[in-house]
Amino acid sequence: MRKNLSKSEVKELNVKLKELYNLEEFFNKKDILILEDNLIKKDNELLFFYHENNPVPTLKLLMKNNFLKKITVDMGAVKFVINGADIMRKGIKKIDETIKKGDYVTVIDETHSKPLAVGVALLNYAEMQKQTEGKSIQNIHRVGDELWTR
């Protein structure tokens, strides 16, 4: 299904983006946005996808403007992350101190600081700091996946 978002829908989307990511008027009223299969496109570029009824930025958008909180992983974790694995505590080198459970985060590599994946924090910062093993971030979008290749 493909549909143009109305001005009121764009306004609602901006409110949600402000709530989730503290983005001020990300889209303006003149932007023509298309909703296609739960994907938000502008000028035929995929910018957001929906995860549990929330708009989540794509990696391609984050490569231009990374406005999400960040989790840095060691280079040994990179191949697992881009193959779709959730992010395990042992592979994490740095955690943004403002992360709360349920936040959408960008997973970046420690050498180049390039976005590898978008995930959902399974724990808050303090809990991750105490954690010695197990999953910390659920991987929901990664380099090379279906969204990446669209």
- Confidence at residue 103, expressed as pLDDT on a 0 to 100 scale: 98
State phi, psi for 58 to the nearest 5 degrees.
-80, 160
Torsion of Cα atoms, 72 then 78 then 80 then 84, to 10°: 70
Q: Is the predicted pLDDT of residue 59 greater than 90, yes or no?
A: yes
Report pLDDT digits (tens) over 92-116.
Answer: 999 999 999 999 999 999 999 999 9
Q: How large is the average pLDDT for residues 5-31?
A: 94
In terms of phi and psi (left: phi > 0; alpha: psi -120 to 50; beta: otherwise), the region of 125 is alpha
- Specify whether the CB–CB gap between 133 and 88 falls below 8 A: yes
Q: Is the pTM of this model over 0.75?
A: yes
pLDDT above 70 as % of the chain: 100
